[in-house]
């Protein structure tokens, strides 16, 4: 594959999650699940490289790197900063995909900047960047847990009802990422946020 040299035409899409079988179908790993579907949709495949699994795609003249960090959630920033520097990718062409407890299940919220919202993966990226000004895509996992059971909830498996809703919500999320690359952040926010 010919790699684009114009940094404005290079993108890094990052799905956050934890590596290892025990985390596979957990709410905290929705970032991995979405980027897996995105890469499959664009007929790519992942290869294990430094600090994560990487897929390289061509989408409408853009070169897109898709990363699943292997650093575990709390050290996600290490992998993200490494690949951004290695491929000379501008921060506005980064999109970090993660779970969010403060959003209803299946709803999507895309923003150009924000706080970590208590999410350890986003917090580490923010610490490494020294700013919260980078695009992020939050997938709502809801908050159906008892007080003090937040960790158990995010590291828990999807319910049968949620699994069934995913059949529609994952392709919706894949389309939103493709839109971010081809139509830009603000158009994507207008079209996909809160839906």
Euclidean distance between CA atoms 91 and 88, whole angstroms: 10
Within the chain, what is the greatest distance between any pair of CA atoms? Answer: 51
Query: Which pLDDT belongs to residue 164?
Result: 86
Q: Which residues are catalytic?
A: 28
Q: Is 93 annotated as a binding residue?
A: no
Q: How far is CA 20 from CA 17, 27, 71, 124, in A?
A: 10, 14, 11, 20
Q: Classify the C-alpha dihedral 95-135-60-188 as positive or negative.
A: positive
Closest CA to 62 of 136, 11, 111: 11
Q: Which two tokens stand for residue 31?
A: 């970032």
C-alpha 167, offset from chain centre? 18
Q: Which two tokens stand for residue 51?
A: 């600090």
Using one digit for the tens of pLDDT, what is the confidence trace for 84-129? 999 999 999 999 999 888 888 899 999 999 988 888 899 999 999 9
Q: Is 18 annotated as a binding residue?
A: no
Q: Is 145 annotated as a binding residue?
A: no
Domain map of the chain by residue range? Answer: 7-192
Q: Provide mean pLDDT across the span 129-142.
A: 91
Q: What is the CATH number of domain 7-192?
A: 3.40.50.1470
Residue 156 scores a pLDDT above 80:
no
- pLDDT grade, residue 27 (50/70/90)? confident
Closest CA to 110 of 140, 137, 146, 83: 137
């Amino acid at each position: 594959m010919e790699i684009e040299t114009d940094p404005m035409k290079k993108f890094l899409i990052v799905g956050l999650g934890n590596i290892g079988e025990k985390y596979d179908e957990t709410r905290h790993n929705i970032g991995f699940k979405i980027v897996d579907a995105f890469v499959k949709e664009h007929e790519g495949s992942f290869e294990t490289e430094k600090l994560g699994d990487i897929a390289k795609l061509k989408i409408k003249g853009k070169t897109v790197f898709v990363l699943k960090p292997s650093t575990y959630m709390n050290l996600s920033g290490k992998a993200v900063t490494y690949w951004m520097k290695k491929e000379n990718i501008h921060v506005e062409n980064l999109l970090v995909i993660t779970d969010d407890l403060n959003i209803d299940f299946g709803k999507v919220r895309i923003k150009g900047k924000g706080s970590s919202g208590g999410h350890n993966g986003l917090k580490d990226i923010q610490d490494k960047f020294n700013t919260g000004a980078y695009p992020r895509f939050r997938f709502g996992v809801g908050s159906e847990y008892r007080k003090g059971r937040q960790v158990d909830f995010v590291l828990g498996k999807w319910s049968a009802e949620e699994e069934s809703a995913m059949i529609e919500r994952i392709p919706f999320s894949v389309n939103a990422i493709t839109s971010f690359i081809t139509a830009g952040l603000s158009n994507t926010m207008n079209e996909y946020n809160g839906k």
